[in-house]
Structure 1
């Protein structure tokens, strides 16, 4: 895994209370900013990243050397125009790109490993609200996020509605389904079955559970793509050979692709972080959070305090991980509390990952909504 060093970060000056009942002290939040902040601080946009994302939304990642994960959307003259807006993107707590997570040092000077408390999406948002406080930004022009980032955007709207004027939630859901949880559990079990996982205590041993993490990434990556996209890109074409090997090497191009995705992922991500972040996503259920002791609240209850906050919900017709029906549930809940909301299902061949790829229709929606 790449080592995070010399990153822009801030240490929170207050204890961070967590949904589990535990708390973290001296929480570090790594973040990047793009574009100038207006004198009245009215032009700030907070972008939330997805599961394996980071704060490098619009510039080369210094750890991997790869372009920012949303440079297609964020930058000068782009739909989220950094000539007009001050964009903030922070690494979530529990991750491994500079923010406090299981690889961070605990108060005893050793890595937390599995002593790190289980976190939730709402905990991630609490940490980012604390970052906004530290930066002196009381209200945002907008919050934007896709996938897990969309969960965070919705969570902020539900729990801190006074902090933003607009909420743009893309390819996301208000709760994780049984199928989503099942896919994540396969990944977690792959990691924990790797002998090098060592009950999470592998830091400093020179051996990490790369094989397990690679399999976890391969399984998850399949859910980000569509059948049509896979067929178009790979079909049943063989990889660097003219005939089947009658063995278990990567005969097919799609096998080679998945193996590459898995192996390259281990260079930049921490296995324990993967466990913690997927668990946070699985726990996510906005209706349950706002149901009181009975946990019987409706999703509409989560948005009753939204006031005049404007919402835009976007789905993709080939996304089977968070299908359009999930977005419609969010829209129906917002309609129930008379929140101003617009909704669009976009056509794209790429499945869940469509929001990260070339999609001119999404560019138009984002630019029009952000204003």
Structure 2
């Protein structure tokens, strides 16, 4: 069953968007009225409503997990894993993927209009990962889905999966967490702060009030994306892709152009990102990740977070991922074991770094298919 489509005047021309009927209470002590959630679904919800799989996206992801992106025209960001006959098989499962609260692909965020008809900008409240999940739970309620067959997420999506399992334990049977952490490590917070400062140092940021001015902090957002993208790759993959090879030239320019292929690649990544993402959304989403600490309310005792859980868990890490290394997944596995929860854990070998969960890793396909079923 699907929710009725609502009119969509978004500049992105999104397909499905629904307004939550009740104010959304937030961890920061405030609430948001008229919250809109943009989402996509794939497959058919069965009569028992027991075959729903929630897929949670990463930092700069969106709801177009297995369908063409309306701006870039590229295939869905996880088309290799979601679809008919694929590891998350839409011939068997009803897949839901929602754009997170605070983002810019149709869900309510800083670019959305507040009650006064003006964009929220920095009036938008600072949110948490749990707030994002709280909005997704409200969406599931509207779709008539009381319990998920599975929730699956990589990176920030894995944090959402953990938060759902911890705070709404009766809502999900299987929890798959890929390349994620239960608490944001200090080094990662540092990288995210560099990105936020790059945006806020751009004169075109204008204190966050750049909407409708004809300019935006594209330079700062591009630098933020460049810095983040470095963390998504491994040294091995960067060496294999680029080495010290020059870009379209026979010799160095002795200037500040992009002499090296890796420099040109990062500039392209930064520039293309500004065409599909909002700078203020980047600030809010990365801050939510920096705040993430699942055991914070339990005195740092992660096992207590999952006490009494009935869900099954599968944790996946990659040996080349230095952003969320295997030790972070092991911490979660040990906590789940201590809580008596059924958990499986695997470290996969892949050369791509943190981005491995999005790329061609056949063994990951097998793990997903085996666990989601």
TM-score by length of 1: 0.97
> Any conservation in 1 of the 2:14–2:38 contact (CA below 8 Å)?
no
- Distance (Å, rounded) in 2 between the aligned partners of 1:324 and 1:6: 36
Q: 1:362 is matched with which residue?
A: 364
1:324 alignment partner in structure 2: 326
Structure 1 regions of 5+ residues with no counterpart?
none
Aligned to 1:20: 28
Instruction: Report the 3-state secondary structure (helix = DSSP H, G, I; strand = E; otherwise coil) of the residue aligned with 1:315.
Output: strand
The aligned residue for residue 112 of structure 1 is: 120
Paired residue for 2:344? 342
2:304 counterpart (301, 323, 327): 301
Partner SS for 1:286: coil
Residue in structure 2 matching 1:100, options 99, 104, 108? 108
- SS of 1:141's equivalent in the other structure is strand
Counterpart in the other structure of 1:39: 47
Specify which of 73, 78, 83 is matched with residue 65 of structure 1.
Answer: 73
- 1: distance between equivalents of 2:119 and 2:13? 16
SS at match of 1:327: helix
Among 331, 337, 353, the residue aligned to 1:351: 353
Q: Is the 8 A contact 1:318 1:347 kept in 2?
A: yes
Separation in structure 2 between the aligned mates of residue 298 and residue 68 of structure 1, nearest angstrom: 37
Q: What is the aligned-residue RMSD (CA, Å)?
A: 0.8
Kindly report which structure 2 residues correspond to 1:136-155, keeping only aligned pairs within 5 A, or say none: 136-155=144-163
| Cα separation, 2, equivalents of 1:196 and 1:260 | 20
| 1:182 counterpart (168, 185, 190) | 190
- Cα distance in 2, alignment partners of residues 183 and 123 from structure 1: 23
- Separation in structure 2 between the aligned mates of residue 302 and residue 56 of structure 1, nearest angstrom: 31
| TM-score, normalised relative to structure 2 | 0.97
Q: What does the per-residue CA deviation read over 1:219-238, in whole Å, with 9 as the maximum and x for residues that have no partner?
A: 00000000000000000000
- How big is each residue's C-alpha offset from its partner over 1:136-182, in whole Å with a ceiling of 9 and x where there is no partner? 10000000000000000000000001000000000000010110000
Rounded Cα–Cα distance in structure 2 between residues aligned with 1:297 and 1:147? 21
Contact 1:46 1:140 in 2 (8 A): yes
1:157 aligns with 2:165: yes
Q: Is the 8 A contact 1:7 1:98 kept in 2?
A: no
Q: Residue 249 of structure 1 is aligned with which of 253, 257, 280? A: 257
Unaligned runs of 5+ in 2: 1-9
Checking the alignment, whether the CA contact within 8 Å between 1:158 and 1:305 is kept in structure 2 is no
TM-superposed deviation, 1:301 = 1.1
SS of residue matched to 1:242: coil
Q: Which of 162, 167, 171 is equivalent to 2:179?
A: 171
How many residues are paired up? 364
